[in-house]
Chain A
Amino acid sequence: MRNLLGIADLERGQIERLLDRAESLAALSERENKKLPTLSGRTIVNLFFENSTRTSSSFDLAAKRLSADTVSIKAASSSVEKGESLRDTVQTLSAYGPSAIVVRSPYVGAPGMITRWTDAAVINAGDGKHEHPTQALLDAYTLRRRLGKLDDLNIWIVGDVLHSRVARSNIFCLTKLGAKVTVCGPPTLIPRQIEELGCEVSYTLTGSEEADVLYVLRMQNERMSADDTFIPSIREYASRYQINGERLGRDQLLMHPGPVNRGVELSPDVVDAPQSLITEQVAAGVAVRMAVFYELLATRGPDDTDGQLKAAEAVAIAPEDSR
């Protein structure tokens, strides 16, 4: 794997390998010294053209846990506002010789374009309404930890599918791992022909009681303009699609990519209910992103073979193990 642009490009085996890697890395994070020397001396650029707290901090921490040097660039402080093109920005940053560029963009396909202008591995941290592959990976990781496997799971993705890159990546990821996916939301927020991605479509929650997992999406107000409201009111939306204590079954699991609009897509009580995996999803972010860096960078490059790195790790791990 050279880049991580989307789940659509991955095969089941590659996804499972990443999840396995994340599990072994997660075990390390329970130690007091959480750092591995794997990417020592290498540089990772976090290039964020959209606001993000959890994704950017999680990538940053994942890189630091692997001992990489990180440079984080927010759009607000970059040259982009001065009219510099994406290409110029990437070429400038590439001059630092980064091993990876993590990019979040409000535009579909920006990470794929960047691969043409840099030798660094490119990791998509969300591109417009297209994909958010690491989110889908950490969701699959969370579910797999809880349930062992995803085969034949019945998963409903509920809410604003139209504007959601999380929905798209999750449809790809969950179906590749053997789950059956239904997307549910008001017809104005379900893209035409989404069923061609291998999911089913429902405009009501009827049938959702059969689901093993309710994956609820954030209502993306920021992607709706004043003259494109898509729904008559938040009140009506909530009355029909909000997952609350009554709609969430005792044996169903609840997921949400965050941040939650409490009282809109979720009632406040279910957020902290025992069925909720929301906190576990957040916690999984670092291990999964470490696994992505490891997969893309540690197994690549002429002088950084997998074997040498494993040896280096063994040395680094040894002192703690013997403590």
Chain B
Amino acid sequence: MTDKPKLRLAEPLDVLPDLAGPPSAECLSFRGGDAANLLIRGAHVLDPAADVDAVLDVLIRDGKIVEIGSGLTAPDGCEVVDAAGKHLFPGFVDPHVHLRTPGFEYKEDLATGTRSAAAGGFTSIIAMANTNPPVDSAGALRSLRMRAAEEAVIPVGFSATVTKGMKGLELSEMADLAEAGAVCFTDDGLPIADAGLMRQALQYQRLAGRVIALHQEDPRLARGGVMHEGAVSARLGLAGIPPASESTLIARDALLAEYEDGRIHVQHLSSIQSIEAIAAAKQRGVKITTEVTPHHLSLTDEAIGDGTDANFKMNPPLRTEADRLALIEGLRDGTIDIIATDHAPHAAHEKEIPFEQAAMGVTGLETSFPVVYTDLVLPGILPLELVIDRLTHGADLFDLDRPLIAKDEPANLTLIDLEAEWIVGEEGYESRSDNSCFAGKRVQGKVLLTVASGVTAHRSRSIALQEASN
């Protein structure tokens, strides 16, 4: 297995110093719990960042990986997981999750959202700030972090808005927000349409630190569109969103970030034009990173069919097969740094309505790995280790601790049965919402166990555990 060509790991960028606050990695909130004592026996351990790719036993004591090797024995009080035939990966990191709290708890809350993440193999996530009210003040952020310290089953970092009330008119108190523990800044859900304000945000980033994550969509070009502008929108009579609504803002903000030496992260890339804009900026040395969602890697606008299922409505929209293939290629060659879900739960009454009226967004945490594995790894399009890297590398981009399966590291890992087939949604979801665009899809790859920050956060009912009996 050492003959395989070495995977080129995505490199972390220089992240700005956290001038105004504690390091981002120290700003995650988590309810904690009993530290895990587990012997995971005989799993195929695959962690490209830790350079591990072998069948091994992993011993976790008090939430920490204390030994990796063969023929390990379980000390007293240690549970044994027979993981033969299963894969053990570093925990996934998703910097783009909507936990909907405060304000939209009927869609998701900190408990259901983090349970959903754990069920998808994630061990840390970043929550978006487009809540009600938005997270645009240190007070709101502190109270949210206190709630997460009671409810979140995996560590959550909270973003704060770039602009007050996400109105795009004036900057939020970014320095105070960083001090209160914001891990990044974003108006996600909305673009920062005003170029002058965007420039000021980049200037102010020198004080506040943290990455600015951007939802790129020129509202005048998107013009009330509800899906990709193309043959399918022409057939259905649905207003289209041209790819240029995304790529033009990416190009603009890349130029601004270059000029101000800022650090930006472009969220949910959807089109060829956008990939090209990112590639050109990276070539010029702009501190820019980007992400792609599993649904943009797996589906196209053809999935919208007769336009009666709003679970295919999200922003940016599903685009063409050429875009999808380019996104896969971008992920392979590193133009696209990571996979992120943009997990966007909505209640049934917001989705079971006509496409044009329905809310934008789909859930994604519980299907992220299985969908990418089924649609991209199994057919041989992307190597498994690359997918694992792109699912964990988000930590580096946002200056969080990257989960590693290595001695003395805290246990952030997930055990997955790559053989297990299941049908999305058949047994419900951990998320409070069920607006998955993959509902009914047969996928392969089932998360059996997730240990986040040393605490067992998810355990499939089918997993066999036994008390150490020596």
Contacts and interface: CB of A to CB of B under 8 A. Distances in A.
A168 B237 contact: yes
Contact of B354 (A105, A194, A228): A105
Candidate in B229, B235, B239, B353 with the most chain A CB atoms within 10 angstroms: B235
A107 B356 contact: yes
Contact of A107 (B223, B234, B354): B354
Interface string A25-46: 0000000000000000000000
B236 A130 contact: yes
A85 B230 contact: no
Given A108-B355, A191-B233, 20 more contacts: A85-B349, A85-B352, A87-B352, A87-B353, A107-B354, A107-B356, A108-B356, A109-B308, A110-B354, A128-B237, A128-B238, A129-B238, A130-B238, A191-B240, A192-B229, A192-B240, A192-B242, A193-B233, A196-B235, A228-B224
A108 B353 contact: no
B234 A191 contact: yes
Interface string B216-233: 000000011000011101
B235 A197 contact: yes
B238 A192 contact: no
A193 B354 contact: no
Contacts of B224: 228
Interface string A273-304: 00000000000000000000000000000000
Closest 8 pairs between A and B when the two form their complex, measured CB to CB: A129-B237, A107-B354, A109-B307, A130-B237, A112-B308, A196-B231, A191-B234, A109-B308
Contacts of B236: 108-109, 130
Contacts of B349: 85
A194 B237 CA distance: 10
Contacts of B357: 107
A196 B238 contact: no
A147 to B, nearest CB: 27
A83 B445 CA distance: 42
A131 B240 CA distance: 17
A110 B306 CA distance: 10
Nearest to B307: A109
A222 to B, nearest CB: 15
Contacts of B355: 107-109
Contacts of B237: 108, 128-131, 165, 168, 191
Nearest to B355: A109
A129 B233 CA distance: 10
Given A85-B349, A128-B356, A197 B307 contact: no
- Residue among B231, B237, B349 facing the most chain A CB atoms (10 A cut-off): B237
Nearest to B237: A129
Interface of B: 223-224, 229-231, 233-240, 242, 306-308, 349, 352-357
A165 B237 CA distance: 7
Nearest to B233: A191
A113 B308 contact: yes
Given A85-B353, A109-B354, A109-B355, A196 B308 contact: no
B24 to A, nearest CB: 40
Contacts of A228: 223-224
A86 B356 contact: no
Contact of A192 (B234, B308, B356): B234
A262 to B, nearest CB: 26
Which of B224, B242, B306, B352 counts the most chain A CB atoms within 10 A?
B306
A251 to B, nearest CB: 32
A8 interface: yes
Contacts of A110: 354
15 contacts: A87-B352, A107-B355, A108-B237, A108-B354, A112-B306, A128-B354, A130-B237, A131-B237, A191-B234, A191-B237, A191-B240, A192-B229, A193-B234, A196-B231, A197-B234
Given A193-B230, A197-B235, A113 B354 contact: yes
Contact of A194 (B234, B307, B356): B234
A168 B234 CA distance: 9
Given A85-B353, A107-B355, A108-B238, A193 B307 contact: no
A128 B307 CA distance: 12
Contacts of B230: 192-193
A14 B352 CA distance: 31
Contacts of A193: 230-231, 233-234
B346 to A, nearest CB: 14
A6 B306 CA distance: 10
A112 B356 CA distance: 14
Given A112-B307, A112-B308, A86 B234 contact: no
Nearest to B220: A227
Nearest to A228: B223
Interface in A176-208: 191-194, 196-197
Nearest to A172: B235
A229 to B, nearest CB: 12
A5 B305 CA distance: 13
A194 B108 CA distance: 40
Nearest to B352: A87
Contacts of B242: 192
Contacts of A5: 306
Contacts of A168: 235, 237
Contacts of A116: 308
Contacts of B306: 5, 109, 112
Contacts of B307: 108-109, 112, 130
Contacts of A85: 349, 352-353
A193 B357 CA distance: 24
A87 B354 CA distance: 10
A191 B229 CA distance: 9
A11 to B, nearest CB: 17
Contacts of A86: 353-354
A22 B223 CA distance: 41
A8 B235 contact: yes
A220 to B, nearest CB: 12
Contacts of B233: 191-193
Nearest to A167: B237
Contacts of B239: 129
B151 to A, nearest CB: 31
Interface in A2-58: 5, 8
